[in-house]
Amino acid sequence: MGAFSETDFDLPPQRVREILDAGDAELVDVREPYEWDAGRIAGAKHIELERLAARADGGRSARADRDPR
């Protein structure tokens, strides 16, 4: 079981930093290009939300491409 075994979770920033530093996760920024250009977290990978499902492996990643609203 991985660090993110549930679909709903809330992690404090320090825990996220630990996971990223350990190489156990990759930070993906799904915002629009103008938002990415305005500022980002160092080391983040930019994949616009509409392109995320095409670039990801697995069913759970594909679900992120749907707008829940």
- The pLDDT tens digits for 17-62 are 999 999 999 999 999 999 999 999 989 999 998 888 777 666 555 5
Domain ranges in the chain are 13-63
Q: Which residues contact 3 (CB under 8 A, 6 or more apart)?
A: 19, 24, 25
The more confident residue out of 29 and 1 is 29
pLDDT at 66: 57
